Amino acid sequence: MYKLIPTLETTHPEVFRSFLEANQRSSTFQSSFVLPVAYHLVEPSEIESMAATGNLWSRFDERYPHSGLLELSRVGFSDNGTQAAFYTSMRCGSLCGNGYFVIMERRLNSEWVIVQETPLWFS
């Protein structure tokens, strides 16, 4: 899927390579985000089990009513730590969702800002 975004490879080559390298290995996600809404980490095996029944979104809504599924990749960083790249998607049903590749930059005040969002898919 990431080969679909060649402009990112040419406009941000260092952070894009770091992103690809970071996502060649797996890791355990931790509940360390502070968000304005409650969230629950779901193991991929749980989603696979729901999907195996042929009716993922009915099963998902039964277990997690009025919610969606947010996916985040590992983050790739530039060598100097001022740029970051990651993939994110949000799914809320069989015909509801989107996926983006995001480039962020750290400003002088240490605040991270989005400098490029590339949509990869939507439904």
- For every residue of 51-74, DSSP letters joined together read HHTT-HHHHHHHHSTT--EEEE-P
Label residue 87 exposed, middle or buried (CB < 10 Å: 0-12, 13-18, 19+). buried
- Per-residue pLDDT tens over the stretch 89-100: 999 988 999 999
Per residue in 27-65, pLDDT (tens digit) is: 777 777 787 888 888 888 999 999 998 889 999 999 999
> For 73-118, how does the pLDDT look when each residue is reduced to its tens digit (9 = 90+)?
999 999 999 999 999 999 998 899 999 999 999 998 889 999 999 8
What CA–CA distance (Å, rounded) separates 114 from 8? 14
With contact defined as beta carbons under 8 Å apart, do 64 and 50 qualify?
Answer: no
Tokens of 39: 């969230």
Report DSSP state, residue 83: E
pLDDT of residue 97: 95
- Mean pLDDT, the chain, integer: 87
